[in-house]
Amino acid sequence: MKTVKVAGRTSYTVYMGKDALSGLGRIMGESAERSDRKALVITDKNVAPLYLKPVLRELKGAGFQAHRHVLPPGEKTKSWSMVHALLRVMTERSMSRDSVVMALGGGVVGDLAGFAASVYMRGCRLVQVPTTLLAQVDSSVGGKVGVNLREGKNLAGAFYPPVAVVCDTRTLESLPARELRAGTAEIVKYGCIFREDLFDMLEDWLGEMPGDPGGTEVKSWLLNDTDRLQKAIELSVETKAEIVKADEHENGLRMILNFGHTFGHALEQVTGYRKYLHGEAVFLGMRMATRLSLHAGLLSGKESERVLRVLQKFRVHLPRSIPRKVYAQMQRDKKMRGGKLHYVLLEKIGAAVIKTDLGEKAVLDSITEVIEDTW
């Protein structure tokens, strides 16, 4: 099993590999330094039938009194009312500050369960067990947890690192092709902003793929080359760990992890979280940010073509009517500081930069061009 250490005010280890869940009991036993061995596994109705029983079995084998709570799936679950409901469950189970909240599922479960853990008794122990590609390479690592408000995505949240992250790559086999495609967005992001070698690997890998990664072929493309998939996951986690170590609370370098997300979060919001998976919105957002990088004179035409060629492989369509709606929603983004919106743009493949004071026309043109490309 591959491990990556994430350093910060609380250091922790990310465990990655096939059948990592079979080592969960051992990992939990090693991290249970205090006397309380009570755990609450929080998951959703899609994941529970697949992995809840083996996880509970591992916990009980490690001497934990393990409880479960199953949530409805989907982004709508990541709400303030659901946080309150989870806190009531934790109280009813007589959990203490030394108890463990285990998030078993994708990014929604990880963000929601993590936020509940961060505020229960001012913080209890958190273990992330991500079962989607997006969660394994991104949302489970770095300690950002939160929920959505009516006004925007992730507007209530905290920096709250887990005590461990356990990524079993076999769980990816149970994902629909659409979920796998969405998770690939975050891997592409790391290549664009920080790891040119990762981008080159993905570019070559996509070139070898028969068929269309915008369709069902993406699943066999990813899972039939487990060595490259494992390598892509490892490089992504190592990249995020390096960035988080340098800037744990997103005051500088860590902001580059939002490449494509300012646009993407706005797209999710204006379409009611019903049209796009998060990764799909990020694919579109990265295309918009790449266009804006070109308009701002930062990225060369040749490099922008390479980035857009990769991003456009994962076809996602956009409604024609939304440019101004997206632009208006972006002005509410949590990354707005000093009354200015910070855009993450590319200077070159593998190097991102933060820019402000970009004109409305350039931003709207970038959104519109991507819409036109999808039709």
CA-to-CA dists, residue 90 to 35, 187, 268, angstroms = 18, 34, 30
**Active site (annotated) includes residue 295:** no
Q: Please identify which of the residues 144, 181, 195, 287 carries the catalytic annotation.
A: 144
Q: Please identify which of the residues 195, 240, 287, 313 carries the catalytic annotation.
A: 240
Residue from 185, 110, 184 nearest 140 by CA: 110
Q: Please identify which of the residues 75, 179, 186, 238 carries the catalytic annotation.
A: 186
| Residue carrying structure tokens 């409805």 | 72
Q: Please identify which of the residues 179, 234, 250, 303 carries the catalytic annotation.
A: 250
Q: Please identify which of the residues 67, 261, 295, 313 carries the catalytic annotation.
A: 261
Measure the CA–CA gap between 123 and 165, rounded to whole angstroms.
17
Q: Please identify which of the residues 278, 291, 295, 313 carries the catalytic annotation.
A: 278
**Active site (annotated) includes residue 261:** yes
**Active site (annotated) includes residue 250:** yes
Q: Please identify which of the residues 125, 181, 219, 265 carries the catalytic annotation.
A: 265
Q: Please identify which of the residues 258, 268, 291, 313 carries the catalytic annotation.
A: 258
Backbone angles phi, psi at 263, to 5 degrees: -65, -45
**Active site (annotated) includes residue 361:** no
Q: Please identify which of the residues 9, 33, 122, 360 carries the catalytic annotation.
A: 122
Computed from CA positions of residues 238, 244, 250, 251, in that sequence, does the dihedral angle turn out positive or negative? negative
Find out whether 49 and 71 touch, Cβ atoms under 8 Å: no
Measure the CA–CA gap between 375 and 29, rounded to whole angstroms.
53
**Active site (annotated) includes residue 186:** yes
**Active site (annotated) includes residue 122:** yes
**Active site (annotated) includes residue 265:** yes
Q: Please identify which of the residues 254, 287, 295, 313 carries the catalytic annotation.
A: 254
List Cβ neighbours of 72 (8 Å cut-off, separation of 6 or more): 44, 45
User: Helix or strand or coil: residue 29?
Assistant: helix
Residues acting as catalytic residues: 122, 144, 186, 240, 250, 254, 258, 261, 265, 278
